[in-house]
Chain A
């Protein structure tokens, strides 16, 4: 296991390098210019040149990249073009927000998706199964930002059960944290729960027809034990693979949901950075997101190994 972890971490190095090269190249190809935003409508051509020089944008892209890389390997991801906020600080401040949101929405997706999938699998072609299938289809079809707006309109604006916007850190108030994260997490987790429900259903239907399940039932084991311990454990193997993919989808989806709920996470930071062409910030964000995705995949492989000993890396 340790070998797997170290191998993956080592593979992260060339991956981050390639990603950083691509990000730097793509951002330098964009026609917009951060200097325009910095000097504003009233800026003159002279000011434009001065600011370009100050930011080093008058230098060739390759030189800029080498300078950035030199600092990055020492842990310095640079400073925003627009203020004195360091990229590392900005990212680290928002990381817990996005992770909170992703984690809670993943929990919701797993809980709802697994429950719906099991219920559907236990009575195939019954009304429960059809309801779960229709629900899953709707869940995957509804855009999460629209669902989020709907949730806000009903549960925040009309009922006032939850705040309409903002995020409260768990350290400030666990209760307020839960209130602030519930609606965005539901909005974000909806489509993932639908995908998981479909996966659990088909996996469970297959597993429940296996001989060892019949044998377990013949031994007099309770239905609950048979389903949760014997059937679900095996049915979860393909689900974990789907979950890994879904978590990366949730990370991406948080970009939009954070906007709807005005949550100051990595998504909001990314959108602002892209709009402003804040190249150091974009670079830092992409690297962190890539790192997160790699970590999620690593965690998936580890869990996969526990659930399926045959799949454990040698």
Chain B
């Protein structure tokens, strides 16, 4: 259980793939990145969704992910997890952009604030944090959490200057240790956030730009036009017609990042309280076999998604190639399973939908119709699907799962009796429960991978989570950006690593 990792700054840089880049003292040029979502907050501990590219210039996390998803110390230098105790050693000589020193006391204050706010999912297992000495941070967990370091790679580990925490406008005045500082005077609310080099940055050689801009362009076509005309150097996209255009336009390139969104169906009423047929595993398997995932990916996700049979994507440590094609489209087999079930004549049920998922559900309804199941699509207001899915209003729902999320969250989301998306409080099978528990007993991915592979296989067997298609993280870039050797895409994130980034 005990793991002690201490890496030098040099090794950290090497692991990030930046070791070979030349050093420079001052940045030059501008890099412009377009975000598909509007900026909501620049307070990392109040961030609950997209928008991390707005935070990365100003904030650094304790760890970040290397090219293969491994944990690389950034503001930390090492960690040790021993049961419920996590010890993190911190980098010395770092200051926040407002001049405050970065030390264990500041880090503890950050973690405790995150716990108190309760918005960052990754900090929900943390009881409290304290400073053991000036550069040693102690975190006490409420329960074993093998993903705690993973969480500290993201917003949960981003460090805010303690003096800035009392600023009611912190969401627009970020103060961190990052290579760039937010320029409020040059930024235009709702349009562009401007960042300039941080003169107090601890690793000045990694400041490669004189100016970094994050533009808010939520309209996909407008973002595409901005990329085509060189107004932006890159931007993020979902699998939609515009990203498909980028993929086939000479002079532009669509980067497929590790991680992404896995679209899946959740049979919430798997004990058959409202829809008795859902309690029959044969019915659920029939539904899984009835979906032509390849046609779905081509027609609904513009050829940018891959067929999915498990929660993790290729490249993830828990991904199991053996599960590929486990429910490959086979309508005859689907009919056989329906015939074997207690509901051979089919049944009907209601499925909530938001406009974004309407075409997906229409395609799925067509597949289910082939085996006698009528899925009625019930439109919901945008933004309400998650809440509706947490209630018993519908016997099934459809959501996306971020494939780079630690697998422990699968149980918290869907498996446990009190899981967020188990509104009917269905009791999990003994096998799933045991696997979920076993997955928490080690921090080592080598140890955890076989456990979560078994869990994915078990989930496939129980078929109450029906995975349909997985679209990767998509970043559209210009030809110049594509050939810029300093551009490093963050693992599992829709942003570019700014440390060492130079203008095209």
Contact = CB atoms under 8 A, between A and B. Distances in A.
Do A and B pair up? The answer is yes
Given A45-B390, A84-B171, A157-B229, A259 B383 contact: no
A33 B118 CA distance: 19
Nearest to A149: B221
Given A33-B387, A84-B171, A90-B190, A262 B226 contact: yes
Contacts of B168: 84
Given A31-B381, A149-B221, A41 B189 contact: no
Q: Is the interface of B mostly helix, strand, loop or mixed?
A: loop
A152 B49 CA distance: 31
Interface stretch (A115-123, A163-171, A225-233, A286-294): A163-171
Nearest to B409: A42
Contacts of B223: 165, 262
A275 B383 contact: yes
A160 B384 contact: no
Interface in A7-59: 30-33, 36-45, 47-48, 50
Given A31-B384, A41-B399, A45-B390, A264 B231 contact: no
B231 A166 contact: yes
Contacts of A48: 387
B382 A275 contact: yes
A35 B229 CA distance: 38
B381 A264 contact: no
Given A93-B189, A268-B190, A262 B219 contact: yes
A80 to B, nearest CB: 9
Contact of B40 (A83, A156, A259): A83
Interface in B180-220: 188-191, 215-219
Interface in B221-236: 221-223, 225-226, 228-229, 231
Given A167-B191, A276-B383, A259 B228 contact: no
A210 interface: no
B119 interface: yes
Nearest to B216: A264
A47 to B, nearest CB: 6
A269 B383 contact: no
Contacts of A45: 390
Contact of B191 (A41, A153, A157, A166): A166
A94 interface: yes
B38 A272 contact: yes
A48 B231 CA distance: 40
A261 interface: yes
Given A85-B189, A90-B190, A164-B226, A47 B118 contact: yes
B172 interface: yes
16 contacts: A31-B380, A36-B386, A41-B49, A43-B119, A43-B386, A149-B221, A153-B225, A156-B225, A164-B222, A166-B215, A259-B219, A259-B222, A260-B221, A262-B217, A262-B223, A275-B383
Given A32-B381, A42-B48, 6 more contacts: A43-B48, A82-B40, A93-B188, A163-B231, A262-B219, A269-B190
- Report the interface size class on chain A: 35 or more
B420 interface: yes
A47 B231 CA distance: 40
Given A84-B169, A259-B219, A165 B190 contact: no
Interface string B48-70: 11000000000000000000000
B229 A32 contact: no
A32 B385 CA distance: 9
Interface in B95-125: 118-119, 121
B470 interface: no
Interface in B383-398: 383-384, 386-387, 390
Interface in B29-80: 38-41, 48-49
A192 interface: no
Contacts of B191: 166-167, 264
A277 interface: yes
A33 B388 CA distance: 11
